[in-house]
Chains A and B, each alone.
Chain A
């Protein structure tokens, strides 16, 4: 089993839809979690951190479920500009914190 797993998609949704992605991790020692966004042929850019209590930034909500070992990203009122690949990253402590990225979930928002 991979350390960090994401459904590669693509998730194909109409504008205005609500869409959610999950990212599962296998190591219970994982400490920190983030979502990044990567546009085609561009570098990843931080979207948001994932706190234990969950956090919201505009149309985006990130949550952590430690018991089931996954994080989620919810996007409300999808825009065409939300089309991108969404990468989760999990930091696991093994002396130093090593960041492990998932393979990403592709989102396509269509008119």
Chain B
């Protein structure tokens, strides 16, 4: 399978714990996006990388959230001191081509439940 993969697919954690998610993009894609999606809403942009550089970060993203893409390949999203409001589906997408005209390919997502 050469699509975008995410790990884990499901995560249940207690409030206050830290969690880390991984995304492996399509190999030739230089851009990688993270989104959060809750029921009945569209994906909400969190951040994106072009190669290893984090170029944009949503102002909605609190300082408890951090993302890395150390070698321009896979990426990790860490949430520290999780809160119940963090419960959501976390989606990763990758793309190539010119920014703003790129077609994003999404992974299956990581569903986070904070109890």
- The B contact surface, by secondary structure, is loop
Docked-complex contact A103 and B40, CB < 8 angstroms = yes
Instruction: Evaluate contact between B105 and A96: CB separation under 8 angstroms.
Output: no
Q: List 23 A-B contacts (CB under 8 A).
A: A8-B40, A31-B100, A32-B100, A32-B101, A34-B103, A43-B106, A43-B108, A43-B109, A44-B91, A87-B42, A89-B42, A91-B100, A96-B48, A96-B99, A97-B99, A97-B100, A98-B56, A99-B33, A99-B45, A99-B104, A101-B44, A102-B42, A103-B41
B36: min CB distance to chain A, Å: 11
Nearest-neighbour CB distance to chain A for B87, whole angstroms, equals: 15
Report Cα–Cα, A98/B44, bound state, in Å.
Answer: 11
Interface residues, chain B, with chain A CB atoms under 8 Å away = 33, 35, 40-45, 48, 55-56, 91, 99-101, 103-109
Cross-chain contact A46 with B103 (CB below 8 angstroms): yes
Is the CB of A45 closer than 8 A to any CB of chain B?
A: yes
Residues in B whose Cβ lies below 8 Å from that of A99: 33, 45, 104
